[in-house]
């Protein structure tokens, strides 16, 4: 049986690397991103997203684990326009970057294709300095649910919301005091559920 083609955006990060190892034997895997991947793709650039998708062509599945946002204490964040705001990176990269990727990917998916985005725990369990991530993660969860209602003929779209994942570098672990570490195997299963179980418009918390 021919393997389904899966585009994994962000395969060099902690979660992406775990998914790459898990999916390489079961999918025709193509990686995209800004660092040592098969196809260069910068989430902050719509032109880059569209160019990469055009080069890849039709896909059966898309998983995005990429996206950046600033950690900053709220006391140090001033009111500012989007171009100068501390929140700009998260809004334009992790949030709008993933949204634009999903929107552009519609032209390269089939009715039985599936798109999986990645949010995170901080909109449900706040951390100090994490207001940007909290805002972005909550928006991603809400957008996926809303988008699914307007894609009745596919592709399906879901989101995985991971907590502190096994293998996270220590400088980031310190930002999550008291959090239990989620084994990578559990994280992989969450993405598999989004890809293969038939759910749509859901956020799988892990």
Could you report the per-residue pLDDT of 150-166, keeping only the tens digit for each? Answer: 988 889 999 999 999 99
Residue 34 has pLDDT above 90, yes or no: yes
pLDDT (mean) for 74-94: 96
H or E element at residue 129: none
Count other Cβ atoms within 10 Å, centred on residue 182.
Answer: 18
Torsion angles phi and psi, residue 63, rounded to 5 = -125, 125
Structure-token pair, residue 190: 């969450």
H or E element at residue 140: helix 131-148
Query: Any residues with CB less than 8 A from the CB of 49 and at least 6 apart, and which?
Result: 41, 42, 43, 97, 100, 101, 104
| Cα pseudo-dihedral 67, 133, 152, 63, rounded to 10 | 30
Count other Cβ atoms within 10 Å, centred on residue 78.
Answer: 7
| pLDDT for 154 | 84
**Least-confidence region, from 113-117, 132-136, 170-174:** 170-174
pLDDT (mean) for 59-83: 96
Torsion angles phi and psi, residue 138, rounded to 5 = -65, -40
Query: What pTM was estimated for this model as a whole?
Result: 0.96
Where does the pLDDT of residue 31 fall: very low under 50, low under 70, confident under 90, or very high at 90 and above?
very high
| pLDDT for 105 | 97
Residue 1 has pLDDT above 90, yes or no: no
Residue 131 has pLDDT above 90, yes or no: yes
R_g of the chain computed on alpha carbons? 16
Contact 69, 93 (CB under 8 A): yes
Mean of the per-residue pLDDT values of the chain: 96
15-18 — which CB contacts under 8 Å span 24+ positions?
A: 15/65, 15/118, 15/162, 15/165, 15/184, 15/187, 16/65, 16/66, 17/167, 18/165, 18/167, 18/184, 18/187, 18/188
Residue 2 has pLDDT above 90, yes or no: no
Residue with tokens 């634009």: 100
| pLDDT for 62 | 98
| pLDDT for 48 | 97
The 8-class DSSP code of residue 77 comes to P
Percent of the chain with pLDDT over 70: 100
Residue 123: exposure state from Cβ atoms within 10 A (0-12, 13-18, ≥19):
buried
């Amino acid at each position: 049986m021919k393997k389904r083609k899966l585009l994994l955006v962000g395969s060099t990060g902690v979660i992406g690397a775990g998914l790459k190892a898990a999916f390489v034997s079961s999918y025709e895997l193509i990686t995209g991103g800004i660092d040592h991947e098969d196809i260069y793709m910068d989430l902050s650039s719509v032109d880059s997203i569209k160019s990469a998708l055009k080069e890849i062509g039709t896909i059966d599945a898309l998983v995005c684990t990429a996206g950046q946002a600033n950690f900053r204490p709220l006391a140090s964040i001033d009111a500012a326009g989007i171009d100068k705001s501390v929140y700009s990176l998260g809004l334009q990269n992790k949030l709008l970057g993933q949204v634009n990727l999903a929107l552009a990917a519609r032209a390269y998916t089939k009715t039985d294709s599936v798109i999986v985005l990645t949010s995170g725990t901080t909109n449900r369990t706040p951390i100090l300095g994490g207001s940007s991530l909290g805002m972005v993660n909550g928006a991603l969860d809400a957008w996926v649910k809303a988008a699914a209602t307007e894609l009745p003929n596919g592709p399906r779209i879901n989101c995985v919301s991971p907590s502190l994942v096994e293998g996270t570098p220590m400088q980031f672990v310190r930002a999550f005091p008291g959090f239990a570490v989620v084994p990578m195997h559990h994280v992989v299963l969450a993405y598999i559920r989004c890809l293969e179980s038939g759910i749509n418009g859901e956020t799988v918390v892990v």
